[in-house]
Structure 1
């Protein structure tokens, strides 16, 4: 099989890149190791920056997103029973859109299928060959049958545990990582959200987040031990702990119900450099991970797609390699800013096992400074709604 761009990974980053390339008449093939249903079963964040919204529009996949998504002009931050609002509209003139990552992925799958896009599911034994030459190719198997794709370029959109990053030699690749000493226990419930905007809570018992998917589907999180498992937490225990971590007024209004999904996610910050080796390009979680605080994971993957899509478009439409040559530097410049924001926001809201009394006082001082300082609120709003590409 021959194609112009071989895309490894059928999550939102790979699908978005494929659909954008299709709109410009550039051929691609997606290789996904799981089934479509498995990919759509992943529960992920749902806060979309305007940059991602514009990419979905350019890809022709924004109709349902605009019809069903919720525009948010701000977010709430609490500590103890104190709470204040960061006004995105006032400070940036830009909202975020609440629309689940699962729905983004579904819309992209539907668009690729409608366009007759080539997606291979349940692929195994993927090998990237000769990426540092002008004749890269990908070997893989489907149902025990060996296959090969010859291509001009390879986009590694296969996540943290995928093969793409590992294809870059250790002599070239450098990795930076921070592991956080806690996780997030998340619950999805068919209940109305406790507030129409997100609440990020700092409490003496640990972090909590009140989020939403729609008017009758809510997503809640609490900081937990890495040694915990979802089975350790009954629904009743989760709701009681959440109520202890948010202001009393919101706790009294909280509507509880059976969980329809419950999981624990560890937190890490991770970046690999460079994000390009020869004709192999890394996108999204294959190159970087952020803590979920601030919802930068999918949005940072989208910025990678923006840079790579435009670089490939410039190559095929104008014969220019400028975008390709500058991809890693441009993508990483924005990635590190997203990493900084996610690290800072996590440090502001979570309880760490090694925090001394002084550290806790500094955390509260930081929150009160943010509450009272317009410039600090503007800086946070600019980062939250998304820095420009």
Structure 2
């Protein structure tokens, strides 16, 4: 073993000295190295073999390991390999002391986890310079570890926030689904079915129906702009204006002095909604609407269309006709007016009011379903009725969609007219 020269090096003073492990089977070499290290104010421990060094590393942690390469039993190279395998060991800067100068041997040492090497003989100035370089790397490693701890804590906090938000959104979805408490109802021989599927936790679609009197029912389909919580809150507020439980709070109905309930003209309902947006609700959202009043005795449907997809009528033979002229969405232009329109249902006809989440579904090539695609789906499922028909439509829509998922909320109201018109 070669001793190092003892050139004087200025003393290093650190508040927390590095913990150094010196590993060498030569007692003299260990003492020479330890003396220099203690002189530079490092905390030093010694091990006379690779085996004893590993035992110490299991018990405590070190910042720097100086190990002779050639030792009986576990060599310095093997010690480096085994040390890097320790699960609970903190990172330590590993310097191999060797008389080897072959490049392939040095490369091998670096490959197995050594950070640096010194070729014997070397003097204390070179050793101290290498250790100081290791200190800088250790400091950077410590700073990186601290940043990683901070990031981990932040991610844990974000995960906690996300979990809370996710739970809240799941509850919000249940509450939004409760806005459509009845999904199927019979009105004599006729019936109404409704479906509402949000593309996320919550969405901006709303569908429903309510009984006006023994001979009339109201149907509506609404699509609020945007997605997420603000859109969902808007639909919740709109649902309150179309209450099925309390006619006196329903914007679509008038209650006369004698208690008689009569429907308001659909166009007036749309205009009142538009005025509410600008005068009371004060939101950046707008929404599209189909509101229809169905006369169960005659099959006449009076409706207004405010930017919503066209109402479709599916005949018993599978023929599909679309009605309406489009109209402006509600909440875009102050004092906007809307049109009253009318269509005639025959026995067996089904009136389908759908959101644009259906007509604007896209296939793999980005082609929209549109009215033509909807007509085809309605026709091929004409043997189904009520909720079964709605589920069949969603099933076919899922097949059509590019990724099997919807990019927008999907909702619809289906009215099946089975009265004998008077």
TM range (shorter): under 0.3
Look at both structures and tell me which one has the larger radius of gyration over its CA atoms: 2
Structure having the higher strand fraction is: 1
Relative CO higher for 1 or 2, CA cutoff 8 Å, sep ≥ 6?
Answer: 1
TM-score (norm 1): 0.22
TM-score (norm 2): 0.21
